[in-house]
Every structure is written in structure tokens, then in C-alpha cells.
């Protein structure tokens, strides 16, 4: 059997084995066509079926009707947050950003390059919490409100989503899309880099309301207009066919295995197990995030010194657990618990957390 390590990377992250195995077959021969998935024309029936299935699975999982466009694009979440103001920030308007972490900062910077954009959450920028709804200083007539539902770097996560005071709300859901059933009815656009909870890197999912798309600017490059991709079924130019195939397999299996309700049950159990192991050794491990705002996807903590952090990571690797080093901007330890991480993986990590503290505390 193939050797598979326990993978807690933040993205690209571990992917479900069954879908990877299916993709391995399709690499050489897609659905008995004698042509591998990488070699099929994106205009041919074999690939178009895959493409439409991937879009259909996203619709089914998130309850999206035809009022929404489901786009499978390239360029990553970074390109989407750069093209968002190109499409939707018009002269004389202001875009609002709830900056609750490093990725929100980057998104705001891109908007400020193009027009008037402000941070509406004047909170301490150590990012240890998510501001309450009333702390979002939304103003009437704004172009949109942008927020990040889960801060991958800082390990904070929104529970209830903010409202835009009448303005369309846009959510960067890169690191917590598909982790639980999610009501998107209050939002106008959602985007997520695939490489965490959806599939491989090289693909970004954009969900956008068609009535909002109709109002978007037309004076930008064709390829950067979300409306272009909507009008072409997300086949305006050559998509990342391989990434879409693997994603199709992952999403189909997610639906088959109980959908998002079942995913939420598993994800909550995983997060609860790890946080409780860390809390039980609270003198040894420091968890910076305020409890109600702890992320179920990215768990961050630190030990007494950077040297001890490094030893934790090294010894965990010896036990087959990888991807635990914190982001270069934050240091410390981070365990990402996306859908493909099993309860068994988390149980092993939780036991290691306990044993390491007892050995070194
Ligand atoms: N937003 C969030 C919340 C992220 O976690 C990331 C990637 N870690 C990005 C945006 C940027 O994604 P990409 O690398 O696909 O541009």
C-alpha cells in the first residue's frame, strides 16, 4: 500500500486518497476514452461532462440555484481579490473591508490601488478575535463589503457572517468553504482557492450572483471580467482541466459520504479533540485566539520559545506528522484540519501534544 503521512499543511493540503487514486487512473485513460484527462480538449464532450459535474456538485453542496454563477478559474484567491475591485468598485464609490487578518490586509491593499477602500473594523491588529457584527462600521451606498470568513494565518473564524448595510457582501472563504452547511443567501460573492478544502492548487472557485454581475464594470480586460467567464460557462479560455477533474472526484465523494452535515460533524469533533488536548496543557502551550473565535480549520499555538517550537515540529515529523510549522509571518505551530484530515490523524496529534508537554513541561 502507498505510504501516506499525516498531513497538517495549510495549503496545498492533504487530499482524500480515494479521489487521488481515481485521478491516477484518469491520468492515463479518462472514462475509457483511451485519452488521459490532461490530454482531452476542453471543448470536447468528455471534459465538458467533468466540468459540468464539478460545477453541479458545488451547487448541490452549497444549495445554489441559477441566480448564482459557479466559476472555476485560475490565478488563485489572490487574483480574485485583485480583480474584485476592478469589476465592482466604480468611481465615486467606496469599498469596505473587514480586515481581520493578513489576507484581508492584502485584499484591501489591492482595492486601494484602484480606488477608495477602507478598513471598517478598527480592532487591535494582533488578530486574536473576530469583531462583533456591530463593530463592522458599514456605511450606506458602499460598493461592497469584503470579509475573510476564516483567517488561515491567525486561526480565527467567523461564526455568523457580517451584513453589508445594504451593500453586496463578498467573502474570501478560501480556508473554510465546504467545512459545514453554509447559508450563502446574505452574500453576493464567495471565492476560495481550491488548495485547502476543495482540491488541488491552480484552481479558484468563484460563486457570484448574476444580478450583481450585470452591474459590473465593462472597461477592464476581458479575461478579468467575471461576467466573461459566466457567459462562457467558465470555459472562456483553457481551464485547469486536471484540477477540475480531481475536484470533481473529491466533491462527488463528499456528497456521497453525507455532504456538509456529515463534514461538519467530523470537523467539529476533530477541532474539539485538538483544542482540548492543548487546553489541558495550558501552562505549556499558549493559544493566542480568544475562545469563541477559534478556527475549526486552522489551530494555532506556540510553546515557550522558538527553539521549543522547532523541537515540537521535528519530533512530530519523526512520528509521521507533517506541516505543523506556523506561517513564516506568525511563527509558532499551526495544524490545519481540513476535510481530508481524518479523526485518526487528529487523535495521533492530540496524543503527541499531551506526551510532548509531559516530557518537556
Ligand atoms: N485568502 C486566504 C484566506 C488564504 O488562506 C490564501 C492562501 N493561503 C489566499 C487568500 C491566497 O490564495 P492563493 O495562494 O490561491 O492566491
Domain match, 25 and 146 both: yes
The verdict on 26 and 108 lying in the same domain is yes
71 phi-psi bin (left φ>0, alpha ψ -120 to 50, beta other): beta
174 alpha carbon – ligand 1 mean position (Å)? 6
CATH of the domain at 333: 3.90.1150.10
CA of 193 to the centre of ligand 1 (A): 6
Residue 193 alpha carbon, nearest atom of ligand 1: 15
Q: Is residue 6 part of a domain?
A: no
Do 175 and 57 have their domain in common?
yes
Q: Which three cell numbers stand for residue 328?
A: 513564516
Nearest by Cα to 290 from 121, 175, 127: 127
pLDDT of residue 2: 80
Which of 223, 256, 289 is the last residue before a domain boundary?
256
| Predicted pLDDT at 173 | 98
Catalytic residue check, 68: no
Please indicate, yes or no, if residue 356 is contained in any of the structural domains: yes
With the most atoms of ligand 1 within 8 angstroms of its CB, the residue from 72, 103, 149, 295 to mutate is 103
Last residue of a domain, one of 233, 256, 279: 256
**Is there a single domain that holds both residue 79 and residue 158?**
yes
- Protein residue whose Cα sits closest to atom 9 of ligand 1: 77
Residue 5 lies in a domain: no
Distance 273 CA to ligand 1 centre (A): 26
DSSP character string of 271-333: HHHHHHHHHHTTTT-B--S-GGGB-SSEEEEB-SSHHHHHHHHHHHHHTTEE--BPPTTT-SE
74 in ligand 1 pocket by Cβ < 6 Å? Answer: no
Tell me which of 9, 11, 75, 77 to substitute to probe ligand 1's pocket, judged by most ligand atoms within 8 Å of the beta carbon: 77
Q: Please say which residue of 206, 232, 256 terminates a domain.
A: 256
Ligand 1 touching residue 323 (CB < 6 A):
no
Residue 4 in any domain: the answer is no
Catalytic residue, chosen from 68, 176, 179, 196, is 196
Q: Which helix (H) or strand (E) holds 25?
A: helix 17-28
7 domain-assigned = no
Q: Is residue 121 part of a domain?
A: yes
**Residue 107 shares a structural domain with residue 81:** yes
Q: How far does the centroid of ligand 1 lie from the alpha carbon of residue 199, in Å?
A: 14
Pair (26, 147) in one structural domain: yes
**Number of domains making up the chain:** 2
- 103 catalytic residue (yes or no): yes
> Residue 80 sits in a domain of what CATH number?
3.40.640.10
Q: Tell me if residue 176 is catalytic.
A: no
Of 172, 176, 230, 345, the catalytic one is 172
Nearest Cα residue to atom 14 of ligand 1: 76
Say yes or no: 120 and 220 in one domain: yes
Identify the residue whose C-alpha is closest to ligand 1 atom 15. Answer: 76
Q: What is the pTM of this model?
A: 0.98
- Compute the chain's Rg from CA coordinates: 21
Q: What are the contacts of 135-141 at 24+ separation with CB within 8 A?
A: 136/98, 136/162, 136/163, 138/96, 138/162, 138/163, 138/164, 138/165, 138/167, 139/94, 139/96, 139/165, 140/165, 140/166, 140/167, 141/93, 141/94, 141/166, 141/167
**pLDDT at residue number 330:** 80
What is the distance between the alpha carbons of residues 93 and 117, in angstroms, rounded to a whole number?
A: 9
Please give the pLDDT value at position 329.
80
Q: Is 32 part of a structural domain of the chain?
A: yes
Do 227 and 284 share a domain, yes or no? no
Per-residue confidence (pLDDT) for residue 1, from 0 to 100: 66
Q: Which atom of ligand 1 is nearest to the CA of 195?
A: 15
**Are residues 309 and 264 both part of a single domain?**
yes
Domain that holds residue 143: 17-256
pLDDT, averaged in runs of 10, over the chain (361 residues): 91 96 96 97 97 98 98 98 98 97 98 97 89 92 97 97 95 98 97 97 98 97 98 98 98 98 98 98 96 98 96 98 91 96 98 97 85
Same domain, 122 and 29: yes
* Residue 278 sits in the same domain as residue 252: no
Asked whether residue 44 is domain-assigned, the answer is yes
Residues 217 and 325 in one domain: no
Amino acid at each position: 500500500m502507498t505510504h501516506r503521512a499525516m498531513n497538517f499543511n495549510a495549503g496545498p493540503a492533504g487530499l482524500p486518497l480515494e479521489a487521488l487514486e481515481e485521478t491516477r487512473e484518469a491520468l492515463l485513460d479518462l472514462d475509457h476514452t483511451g485519452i488521459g484527462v490532461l490530454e482531452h480538449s476542453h471543448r470536447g464532450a468528455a471534459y465538458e461532462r467533468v466540468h459540468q459535474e464539478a460545477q453541479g456538485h458545488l451547487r448541490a453542496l452549497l444549495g445554489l440555484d441559477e441566480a448564482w454563477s459557479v466559476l472555476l478559474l485560475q490565478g488563485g484567491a489572490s487574483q480574485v481579490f485583485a480583480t474584485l475591485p476592478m469589476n465592482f468598485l466604480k468611481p465615486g464609490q467606496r469599498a469596505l473591508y473587514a480586515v481581520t487578518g493578513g489576507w484581508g490586509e492584502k485584499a484591501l491593499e489591492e482595492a486601494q490601488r484602484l480606488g477608495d477602500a477602507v478598513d471598517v473594523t478598527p480592532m487591535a491588529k494582533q488578530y486574536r478575535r473576530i469583531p462583533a457584527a456591530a463593530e463592522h462600521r458599514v456605511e450606506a451606498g458602499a460598493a461592497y463589503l469584503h470579509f475573510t470568513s476564516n483567517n488561515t494565518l491567525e486561526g480565527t473564524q467567523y461564526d455568523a457572517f457580517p451584513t453589508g448595510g445594504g451593500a453586496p457582501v463578498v467573502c474570501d472563504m478560501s480556508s473554510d468553504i465546504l467545512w459545514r452547511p453554509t447559508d450563502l443567501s446574505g452574500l453576493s460573492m464567495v471565492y476560495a482557492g481550491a488548495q485547502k478544502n476543495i482540491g488541488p492548487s491552480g484552481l479558484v472557485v468563484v460563486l457570484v450572483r448574476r444580478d450583481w454581475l450585470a452591474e459590473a464594470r465593462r472597461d477592464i480586460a476581458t479575461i478579468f471580467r467575471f461576467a466573461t467567464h459566466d457567459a462562457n460557462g467558465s470555459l472562456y479560455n483553457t481551464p485547469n482541466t486536471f484540477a477540475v477533474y480531481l475536484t470533481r472526484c473529491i466533491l462527488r465523494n463528499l456528497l456521497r459520504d453525507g455532504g456538509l452535515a456529515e463534514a461538519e460533524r467530523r470537523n467539529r469533533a476533530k477541532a474539539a479533540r485538538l483544542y482540548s488536548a492543548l487546553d489541558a496543557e495550558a501552562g505549556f502551550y499558549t493559544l493566542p485566539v480568544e475562545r469563541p473565535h477559534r478556527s475549526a480549520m486552522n489551530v494555532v499555538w506556540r510553546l515557550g520559545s522558538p527553539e521549543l517550537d522547532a523541537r515540537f515540529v521535528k519530533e512530530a515529523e519523526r512520528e509521521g506528522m507533517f506541516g505543523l510549522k506556523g506561517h513564516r509571518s506568525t511563527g509558532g505551530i499551526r495544524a490545519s484540519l481540513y476535510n481530508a484530515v481524518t479523526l485518526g490523524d487528529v487523535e495521533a496529534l492530540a496524543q503527541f501534544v499531551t506526551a510532548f508537554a509531559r516530557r518537556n513541561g
